[in-house]
Structure 1
Amino acid sequence: MIAPELIGLAGILILLLFLSSGVPIGVSLLLVGLGGLALMISPEAALIKGGVVSFEVISKYELGVLPLFLLMAHICFAAGASRDFFDVAAKFVGHRRGGLALASIGGCAGFGAISGSSLATVATVSSVALPEMRKAGYHPGFASGALAAGGTLGSLIPPSGALIVFGIIAEQSIGKLFAAAIVPGLSQAVFYLITIMVLCAFRPELGPATARVPWRERLPALRKVADIFALILFVIGGLMIGWFTPTEAASVGVIGALVLLTVRGGFSLATVADAIKATLRTAGMIYVVIIGALTFANFVGVTGITEAMSAAVTDWHASPVVAIIVMTLLLLLLGSFLDGVALMLLTTPIFLPIAVQLGYSPIWFGIFLVRTMEIGFVHPPLGLNIYVIQGIAKDLSLGTIFRGVIPFLVADFLHLAMLIALPVITLWLPSVVAG
């Protein structure tokens, strides 16, 4: 008889084969999960388990937070938030060397707080910022590299779709995850800003300075984003300090976004209908992925492979930091050919129990996992953010963009090392809020 652990390992390998062959993430997870459960227990029990998981996901009250935050984001898109964040940052720092690149990071951070998605952030901000930087004489690789890296902020800065999904499948507080993401998200942006300033200090031709904008034009531009910034601060702040549950916070966010859309003169039934349609498409896809992930997690749990891996780590007498570094290398390797969500859903059922046994907080692990997942958006050969930018600027070669992102990858690795070495950076704010 085949050992259960070997069946679990075979299931993981088959899943990787499906994903690398282009089979949709949710379908791959569901097929492997159901097939593995049928082999481990029985086909009838596997179907029953699949039905139970599907019903629990669809009827889960807490999961309502995801489509509501998505709807808030789409309504803010319609209100013109994407251009506003970049315009404000450009007016304040555009006159410095690399100022428009600095502005693009600021725009990505601001827009990421609305979108919750790396791909949405890089696509939206790049469509505005990249033509402006190229018009100003910026080196194409430097400009596109800054945008590709800045786009990853959308996956970490709350309200993050990736953190919501992790919180659901790992059964962790979404409010605490959002609180834990704030300092790493801001420090990640700071690392990118420092990278830009250092590069432009040594090579000024990468990002020439543009004309200084007078203060009489800066303050009105600042007022253009004040309403959206206030909405984000109210929703996320209220969630963290306990005014709202996650679902209530998302509902308040949707109402606030509708008010902003009306005040800005963009409200119409067609606009709201388009936002709802886009939300339903994205949310439906994510629901399928979550159902597949939980089914796969049940299969992995039945095989006992996580317990075997945990025992192996214990037997090696490796320190927790060494074990986390090994996980990091595996995640970066898998991230070179897997989509970020697929990477998270594949590895969470396997790595989270090991990390907890090693003494790491599940909240810290969620931030670590999303941060590592973000790096996969910009490192070769997959680098989805790179392909998004290449789709916007078709005259730029992939090689040019990948070379431009290398300095930002160095900043990513340094930042990730800091989060591993100093977990307090992640856990301090949740402890203060909880206290």
Structure 2
Amino acid sequence: MISPEWAGFAGILVLLGLLGLGVPIGVGLALVGGVGLALLLSPEAALIKAGVIAFDTISRYELGVLPLFVLMAHLCFAAGASRDFFDAAARFVGHRRGGLAMASIGGCAGFGAISGSSLATVATITSVALPEMRKAGYAPSFATGALAAGGTLGSLIPPSGALIVFGIVAEQSIGKLFAAAIVPGLTQALFYIAMIAILCRLHPLLGPPAPRAPWRERWASLRSILDVALLILFVIGGLFIGWFTPTEAASVGCVAALLLCWRRGRLRWRAVATALETTLRTTGMIYIVVIGALLFATFISATGIAALLSNMVIQLDAGPTVAIVAMALALLLLGSFLDGLALMLLTTPIFLPIVDQLGLSPIWFGIFLVRTMEIGFIHPPLGLNVYVIQGIAGDIPLGTIFRGIVPFLLADFLHLALLIAVPALALWLPGVLA
């Protein structure tokens, strides 16, 4: 009979195999976790544990934040807020070299504060920004590389769906995770903008300047995003300063988004019904994933793998930085063939106990994990953002898009190194707001 630790390693390999065969992540996690517990304990114990986890998850008050923020995002989509942030940024900086690419980064950051999803952000902003950049004569690799990189901001800028899922699985404060993501999210956008400026300085033909917009159009574009910006500021700001709990903030956001639809003349029964239907479908999928992840985490805990790896790290006496760099390399390697959510839910039960043993903050680790996960959205061979862009711009080859991503990957690695070297980048704001 094999030891529990070897059973745990075998379970991880089986899970990777199932994901490679295309089994949905929630089903794979639940299957491996349930069968593993049945083998380690007994079928009866595994069945009881699965039932308890499912009931506790569905009945948790904090989990209500997820469908409410998803509904808020879809109501904002119905209000027609999808292209406003890019349009406003393009009016102000589009006349500079690389200005439309910089505007796409700003558009991704603004839209990410509505959607909470990398894939939704890159799909929406690409459909708006790519035609404008092509019309201005931008190099296809440069334009698509900027869009693919900017799209990753949707996973980090609050309200981030990835951080909500991490907070639930790791039992951490969602409000603190949102606060911790603000500075890293803004500095990530600044790193991308700096890279665009450097590239256009070295190669001006990559991003020719577009016609300068008159100030009348600039002020009009600002007015078009004012209501959405106030909604985001009220919801997220109210959460940070203690007016609302995360679930209350999401509820207020839904009501405010309904008012936004009404103010813009987009409040139609069909739009609201579509938003509710999409929210229910997305939430059901995520609930299955979360239940599967918690069942898998219980299995990993029962095998003792996390304790074994923690002891190995401590015995090596290599220091927290070396351990975190090793985790980052493992995450980047796994990110080559796993999507972001699968990567997070596979590694959190394994790495989080090691982080605790090293005396590092779980809040910081959540930001580090999502930041590393974001890089997986653009680096080959998976690079889901790349495939989304290629699906929208079918005439641009995948190789061209991946070539354009290389400079932005460099910016990502530098930013990740800064986050590791200076944990206060993520921990300063939660400490101020505590």
Which residue does 1:189 correspond to in 2?
189
Matches within 5 A, 1:93-132: 93-132=93-132
- C-alpha separation in 2, matches of 1:399 and 1:135: 21
- C-alpha separation in 2, matches of 1:311 and 1:288: 32
Classify the secondary structure of the residue corresponding to 1:388.
Answer: helix
Which residue does 1:226 correspond to in 2?
226
Which residue does 2:68 correspond to in 1?
68
Which residue does 2:153 correspond to in 1?
153
- C-alpha separation in 1, matches of 2:289 and 2:351: 19
Instruction: State the 1:240 CA deviation.
Output: 1.1
Which residue does 2:267 correspond to in 1?
267
- C-alpha separation in 1, matches of 2:425 and 2:325: 18
Which residue does 2:420 correspond to in 1?
420
Which residue does 1:36 correspond to in 2?
36
> Given residue 280 of structure 1, which amino acid in structure 2 is its aligned partner?
L
> Given residue 34 of structure 1, which amino acid in structure 2 is its aligned partner?
G
> Given residue 167 of structure 1, which amino acid in structure 2 is its aligned partner?
G
- C-alpha separation in 2, matches of 1:354 and 1:19: 25
Instruction: State the 1:79 CA deviation.
Output: 1.0
Which residue does 1:339 correspond to in 2?
339
Which digits, 9 at most, give the CA deviation of each residue in 1:355-406, with x for residues without a partner?
1111110000000000000000000000000000000000010000000010
Instruction: State the 1:180 CA deviation.
Output: 0.2
Instruction: State the 1:328 CA deviation.
Output: 0.3
Matches within 5 A, 1:339-378: 339-378=339-378
Matches within 5 A, 1:1-400: 1-400=1-400
Percent identity for Structure 1 against Structure 2: 73
- The count of corresponding residues between Structure 1 and Structure 2 is 434
> Given residue 46 of structure 1, which amino acid in structure 2 is its aligned partner?
A
Instruction: State the 1:216 CA deviation.
Output: 1.3
The answer for unaligned runs of 5 or more in structure 1 is: none
- C-alpha separation in 2, matches of 1:280 and 1:130: 31
The answer for unaligned runs of 5 or more in structure 2 is: none
Instruction: State the 1:48 CA deviation.
Output: 0.6
Classify the secondary structure of the residue corresponding to 1:382.
Answer: coil
Segments of 4+ moved more than 6 angstroms: none
- C-alpha separation in 2, matches of 1:2 and 1:217: 70
Which residue does 2:404 correspond to in 1?
404
Instruction: State the 1:2 CA deviation.
Output: 1.2
Classify the secondary structure of the residue corresponding to 2:82.
Answer: helix
- C-alpha separation in 2, matches of 1:140 and 1:217: 27
Instruction: State the 1:80 CA deviation.
Output: 1.2
- C-alpha separation in 1, matches of 2:359 and 2:412: 25
> Given residue 11 of structure 1, which amino acid in structure 2 is its aligned partner?
G
Which digits, 9 at most, give the CA deviation of each residue in 1:280-331, with x for residues without a partner?
1111100000000000000000000000000111111111100000000000
Instruction: State the 1:20 CA deviation.
Output: 1.0
Which digits, 9 at most, give the CA deviation of each residue in 1:131-177, with x for residues without a partner?
11011100000000000000000000000000000000100000000
Classify the secondary structure of the residue corresponding to 1:184.
Answer: helix
- C-alpha separation in 2, matches of 1:302 and 1:4: 8
> Given residue 260 of structure 2, which amino acid in structure 1 is its aligned partner?
L
- C-alpha separation in 2, matches of 1:353 and 1:232: 34
Classify the secondary structure of the residue corresponding to 1:81.
Answer: coil
Computed over aligned residues only, the root mean square deviation of the Cα atoms, in angstroms, reads 0.5
- C-alpha separation in 1, matches of 2:176 and 2:392: 36
- C-alpha separation in 2, matches of 1:78 and 1:126: 18
Q: TM-score, normalised by structure 2?
A: 1.00
Q: TM-score, normalised by structure 1?
A: 0.99
